[in-house]
Every structure is written in C-alpha cells, then in structure tokens.
Amino acid sequence: MVSSNRSTAMSDSSPYYAIVTGASQGLGRALATELARRGHNLLLVALPGTGLPELSESLGVNHNVSVLFLETDLMSREAPGVILEYIRANAIETDILVNNVGIGHGGEIGDYSDEAIEESVFLNMRCTTLMTNIFAEELGKRERAYILNIGSFGGFMPVPYKSIYSATKSYIYNFSLAVREELRDRGTSVSVAMPGGIITNHRVRKRLNEVGPVARSFTIEPDRAAEDIIDSMFRFRKVIIPGWRMRMAYSIGCLLPFRLLLAMTGRMFRGVS
Ligand SMILES: NC(=O)c1ccc[n+]([C@@H]2O[C@H](COP(=O)([O-])OP(=O)(O)OC[C@H]3O[C@@H](n4cnc5c(N)ncnc54)[C@H](OP(=O)(O)O)[C@@H]3O)[C@@H](O)[C@H]2O)c1
C-alpha cells in the first residue's frame, strides 16, 4: 500500500529534498530531524500507520521546511520504483538519499526463522542496493549530492550469533565504498555510517542489557549519533563511526588478533536475541 501527503511547504533555504528510509522512529527519525534542523526539505518513507503524518507535520512546523511522506513497505521489491515515480510525479528534486532502514536480528544459526532471514537480507541489503541503483542517476543531476548508507559497527568483522546481521552490514560497507569510487566524478559523495549501539527502541535496549555493561557503556543517544553522522556526511567522510568511544573501540579492535576478537564478540553476543 502506498499513501502520501504534503505536510508543509515553507522552506526557502534549500529547493531540494532528502529521502530518508525507515524515518518513523529510531535513528531514521533522528537523522530526518537533524536534516530538517539544518533547513533541508524531506521525503520520509516508512510503513503505513507508524505516525508519519504527525512527524511530518511537526518537523515542517518546527523547522520551517517542506516535509512529504510516503507510506510503503520497503520489504517490497517495487518500493524503490514507487518512490522514484512519486518524486517525478510531484516534481521533487532530491540531493540526499539516506538508506537507513534495517533490522538487527540475532541468534544461533539453525534457529533463525525464514522471516527473520528475509527481513535481514531484504531490508538491510536489497532495499539499500535497489535505492542506490535507482537514484544514482537522479542524484547525479545535482551539482553536489549525498548518499548516506547506514551500516553497523558489526559490519567491520564477522560477529558470531549476529552472523546474518553482521554479514549484511559488511555488504553495506563494501558496497558503499565501491559505489563512492564510481560516483566520485559525478558530484555524488557516498558515506557509510558504522554506528555501535544506539538506544533507539525497546528491542535494542533489551539487547544491550543482555550484551552486558561494557558494551552498554559504549552506547550513544540517537540525536547525538544523528548529529555526528550528518555533520560527517556533509564533510564528505567515507566511513563514519559516531561517538568517540566507538572510534576508540575501533582503534583498539584493529590492534587485537583476529581470533581473540572473534572469541570476545562471540562471548558477548551468545544468547542475545
Ligand atoms: N540501534 C542500533 O543500536 C543500531 C546500531 C548500528 C546500526 N543500526 C542501524 O540503524 C538503522 C536504524 O535502526 P534503528 O535501531 O533506528 O531501528 P528501528 O528503531 O527499528 O527503526 C527502523 C525504521 O525502519 C522502519 N521500517 C521497518 N521495517 C520497514 C518496512 N518493511 N518498510 C518500511 N519501513 C520499515 C521502521 O518503521 P516502524 O515504525 O514500522 O517500525 C522504523 O522507522 C538500521 O539500518 C540499523 O541496522 C542501528
């Protein structure tokens, strides 16, 4: 199902729109809010019935920008085409694509449901790939454009008991760096964010409680992460790790033997949902 509406159209700071997928809550909502705060018009995409009309209204009014929304299921292969059609039909020009939608299932291999696997693969990898492929040409029409893909700290290495999730985010990491090189001369900057734990919803909070106090102490609030990520995106950063604690953890991790790192993360995530 697709439904959409124009909420507010008042901006005179930027004629262009930023598309944010998975914008109804969590990091996507925080990224959308940060872009609105900086005067960007928005096209928010999420599932129907997730409060997009209200969010669009409040972002438009509070930040004096135009906010559109499109309610559609990003699990569907047709969704990216529907979004492109929508922006063409409404004569919207985009200069930022934020591929945020994603899901973080964990577990032991053999125990995953087919649905969990499909959600992980379709939302984390297929949606970002289709969106990037379909919007590359549109973004290339701007003098300067940005693609921001949301990976995860777990994408830097294999994570036992988060094997599917970490593999999908490794894909996002490598895909983003390759596309960055391809689009370099077309004026489109591609960044990939690799955040650690962000307390975005009750599932993440529960998971972080299960992982233990050390990992918990490295978490960051969604607003803080979004500010860091958007700031770095506009500075054309290739790989973005929000929060100094996670940047430090990355540097330490690079010094540890791979086998030790694997054993440590396996111990950390064993039994975590
Ligand atoms: N939270 C963390 O600790 C963390 C760490 C590293 C990376 N990340 C990444 O950050 C991104 C956002 O994570 P989050 O924690 O903010 O997740 P979240 O709170 O679950 O938000 C996900 C967003 O995607 C939307 N969504 C889910 N399924 C959808 C579908 N089929 N079609 C359209 N929209 C859909 C959700 O809408 P609903 O309102 O319908 O649920 C929501 O707006 C993900 O890519 C995740 O892997 C998160």
Span from the CA of 143 to the centroid of ligand 1 (angstroms): 30
Atom of ligand 1 nearest to the CA of 208: 3
Report which protein residue has its CA nearest ligand 1's atom 40: 47
The residue among 34, 31, 36, 26 whose CA lies nearest residue 68 is 36
In this structure, how many other beta carbons lie within 10 angstroms of the beta carbon of residue 163?
18
Q: What is the mean pLDDT of the chain?
A: 94
Atom of ligand 1 nearest to the CA of 29: 43
Domain 3-269: which CATH number of 3.40.50.300, 3.40.50.720, 3.30.70.890, 3.40.50.970: 3.40.50.720
Residue 241, token pair as written in the block:
């790790």
Q: Which residues line ligand 1 (CB under 6 A)?
A: 22-28, 46-47, 50, 73-75, 100-102, 104, 123, 150, 152, 195, 197-198, 200-201, 204
Report which protein residue has its CA nearest ligand 1's atom 24: 22
Where do the structural domains in the chain lie, given as residue ranges? Answer: 3-269
Q: Please state whether the predicted TM-score (pTM) of the whole model is above 0.85.
A: yes
- Residues 7 and 70: beta-carbon distance below 8 Å: no
The pLDDT assigned to 2 comes to: 57
Instruction: Give the confidence band of 11 by pLDDT, cuts at 50, 70, 90.
Output: very low
pLDDT (tens digit per residue) in 136-183: 999 999 999 999 999 999 999 999 999 999 999 999 999 999 999 999
Residue with tokens 């506009």: 234
